[in-house]
Structure 1
Amino acid sequence: MASPPPAAPFALLLLLLVALAAAQLPAPRGSQVENPDDASLRKVFEQWNLTLPENPCGNPVFEPFPANASIDIRCNCSDLNASVGCRVTHLNVTGYRNVTFIPERLFNLTELVSLDLSNNGLSGSISPNIANLTKLELWHLNNNQLNGNIPNESSRLRNLQSLWMFDNNIDGPVPEFIANFTNLKDLRIYGMKLQGPIPNKFSNLTNLTHLMIGDLGGDDRSSNFTGVWENLSVLSMRNCGLTGEFRSPIWPNLTYLDLRSNNLSGPIEQVFRYSRTLQYLYAGENNFSGSLPPQMPPSLLALDVTYNPLLNGGLPKNSSNTMINYIGTSIAANESNHSEVFSLLNCLNMKDMKECNRKDFTNPGHFAVNCGGKEFTFSDQQTVFNDDSTDLGAARFHVNTINSWVVSHVGADPFSNSTGIVSTNKNIPGTDMADLYKTARTSTGSLWYYVVGLASGTYKIELFFAEIVIESESGRRLFNIDIQDRNIRTDFNIFDAAGGFNKATNVTHVANVTDSVLKIHLYWNGRGTCCVPRNGTYGPLVSAIRVFPYTEAQASPPPAVHTSRRNEKRRGVVAGIVALSIAAVVVSSSVVYLWWKWVSLVKHPKA
Structure 2
Amino acid sequence: MFSFALFANSVDAINKIIDHWNLRSKLNLSVDPCTPNATWAPETANPRIACDCSDTVCHITNLKIYALDISGEIPQELFLLTELSDLNLNQNVLNGSIPPAIGQLLKMEYLAFGTNNFTGPVPAELGNLTKLLSLSVGSNNLQGMLPPQLGNLTSLQQLYIDSSGVSGPIPQELSNLKSLQILYFSVLFSEKLTLWASDNHFSGKIPEFLGTFTNLKVLREETNLEGPIPSSFAALTKLEDLRISDLGPSDSSLDFLENLSSLSILDLSFNKLTGQIPASFKTFPSLQYLYLGSNNLDGDLPSDAITSSLVALDVSFNPLTGNVPLDRKDISVNAVGTSINDVNLNNEKASRMLHCLQGNTECRTKGPSTSFSINSGGTELAAADGIKFDDDLEQLGAASLYTNTNNRWAVSSTGVFISNPNGPQYTAQTDSQITGTLDSELYKTARISPSSLRYYGLGLENGVYRIDLHFAEIQMVDDPTSWKALGRRVFDVYIQGERVVQDFNILNEAGGSKRAVIKTFEANVTNTVMDIHLLWAGKGTCCIPFQSTFGPLVSAIHVSQVSESKDSSKSNKKRVGKILGISIGCAAGVMFGFLSVANKERGGPHENSFWERLMVNRTAFGAKLVDFCFVRKAISPHLKMIATLKRK
**Above 0.5 in TM-score?**
yes
Q: Is it true that 1:237 corresponds to 2:223 in the alignment?
A: no
Pick aligned residue for 2:381 from 359, 364, 376: 376
Quote the offset at 1:434 in angstroms: 1.3
Amino acid across the alignment from 2:396 = L
Q: Is it true that 1:257 corresponds to 2:266 in the alignment?
A: yes
Q: Deviations over 1:23-61 (max 9, x none)?
A: xxxxxxx86231777777788888888879568776888
Pick aligned residue for 1:209 from 205, 209, 217: 217
Change (3 A) 1:222 1:233: closer
Q: Is it true that 1:414 corresponds to 2:423 in the alignment?
A: no
Kindly tell me the number of residue pairs found equivalent between the two proteins.
Answer: 510
Change (3 A) 1:35 1:80: farther
Q: Secondary structure at the match of 2:308?
A: coil
Distance (whole Å) between structure 2 residues aligned to residue 79 and residue 168 of structure 1 = 38
Q: Which residue of 2 aligns with 1:175?
A: 171
Quote the offset at 1:527 in angstroms: 2.0
Q: Is it true that 1:524 corresponds to 2:529 in the alignment?
A: no
- The aligned runs of 1:148-547 (5 Å cut-off) are 148-184=144-180, 185-218=193-226, 220-241=227-248, 242-246=250-254, 247-270=256-279, 272-273=281-282, 275-294=284-303, 296-308=306-318, 310-334=319-343, 344-349=353-358, 352=359, 362-380=367-385, 382-400=386-404, 402-416=406-420, 417-471=423-477, 472-547=484-559
Quote the offset at 1:234 in angstroms: 1.3
Quote the offset at 1:546 in angstroms: 0.3
Amino acid across the alignment from 1:410 = T
Checking the alignment, whether the CA contact within 8 Å between 2:102 and 2:125 is kept in structure 1 is no
Amino acid across the alignment from 1:421 = T
Quote the offset at 1:390 in angstroms: 0.6
Pick aligned residue for 1:118 from 101, 114, 120: 114
Amino acid across the alignment from 2:333 = I
Q: Percent sequence identity over matched residues?
A: 33
Q: Which is further off, 245-254 or 138-147? A: 245-254
Quote the offset at 1:488 in angstroms: 2.4
- The aligned runs of 1:53-68 (5 Å cut-off) are none
Q: Secondary structure at the match of 1:225?
A: helix
Quote the offset at 1:347 in angstroms: 4.3
- The aligned runs of 1:594-605 (5 Å cut-off) are none
Distance (whole Å) between structure 2 residues aligned to residue 74 and residue 235 of structure 1 = 38
Checking the alignment, whether the CA contact within 8 Å between 1:444 and 1:540 is kept in structure 2 is yes
Checking the alignment, whether the CA contact within 8 Å between 1:40 and 1:109 is kept in structure 2 is no
Distance (whole Å) between structure 2 residues aligned to residue 40 and residue 129 of structure 1 = 22
Checking the alignment, whether the CA contact within 8 Å between 2:123 and 2:147 is kept in structure 1 is yes
Q: Deviations over 1:96-135 (max 9, x none)?
A: 3342421223222221111121111122211111112111
Q: Secondary structure at the match of 1:263?
A: coil
Change (3 A) 1:177 1:150: same
Quote the offset at 1:258 in angstroms: 1.0
Q: Secondary structure at the match of 1:95?
A: coil
Distance (whole Å) between structure 2 residues aligned to residue 180 and residue 203 of structure 1 = 12
Q: Secondary structure at the match of 1:319?
A: coil
Q: Which residue of 2 aligns with 1:138?
A: 134
Q: Which is further off, 256-265 or 32-41? A: 32-41
Checking the alignment, whether the CA contact within 8 Å between 2:330 and 2:346 is kept in structure 1 is no
Structure 1 unmatched ranges of 5 or more:
1-29, 63-69, 553-607
Q: Secondary structure at the match of 2:101?
A: helix
Q: Deviations over 1:241-297 (max 9, x none)?
A: 453322235234321111111121222144624621111111111122222233521
Checking the alignment, whether the CA contact within 8 Å between 1:289 and 1:311 is kept in structure 2 is yes
Checking the alignment, whether the CA contact within 8 Å between 2:324 and 2:344 is kept in structure 1 is no
Change (3 A) 1:293 1:368: same
Q: Which residue of 1 aligns with 2:101?
A: 105
Distance (whole Å) between structure 1 residues aligned to residue 11 and residue 535 of structure 2 = 46
Checking the alignment, whether the CA contact within 8 Å between 1:344 and 1:404 is kept in structure 2 is no
Checking the alignment, whether the CA contact within 8 Å between 1:71 and 1:93 is kept in structure 2 is no
Change (3 A) 1:107 1:79: farther
Checking the alignment, whether the CA contact within 8 Å between 2:207 and 2:230 is kept in structure 1 is no
Checking the alignment, whether the CA contact within 8 Å between 1:260 and 1:282 is kept in structure 2 is yes
Amino acid across the alignment from 1:90 = D
Q: Secondary structure at the match of 2:252?
A: strand
Change (3 A) 1:292 1:223: same
Q: Which residue of 1 aligns with 2:604?
A: none
Q: Secondary structure at the match of 1:345?
A: helix
Structure 1-normalised TM-score? 0.76
Checking the alignment, whether the CA contact within 8 Å between 1:456 and 1:513 is kept in structure 2 is yes
Distance (whole Å) between structure 2 residues aligned to residue 44 and residue 83 of structure 1 = 18
Change (3 A) 1:284 1:359: closer
Quote the offset at 1:88 in angstroms: 1.3
Q: Secondary structure at the match of 1:245?
A: coil
Checking the alignment, whether the CA contact within 8 Å between 2:119 and 2:143 is kept in structure 1 is yes
Q: Which is further off, 535-544 or 72-81? A: 72-81
Distance (whole Å) between structure 2 residues aligned to residue 379 and residue 40 of structure 1 = 60
Amino acid across the alignment from 1:313 = G
Distance (whole Å) between structure 2 residues aligned to residue 41 and residue 488 of structure 1 = 53
Change (3 A) 1:457 1:337: farther
Amino acid across the alignment from 1:373 = G
Structure 2-normalised TM-score? 0.72
Q: Secondary structure at the match of 2:179?
A: coil
Structure 2 unmatched ranges of 5 or more:
62-82, 181-192, 478-483, 565-648
Distance (whole Å) between structure 2 residues aligned to residue 492 and residue 100 of structure 1 = 26
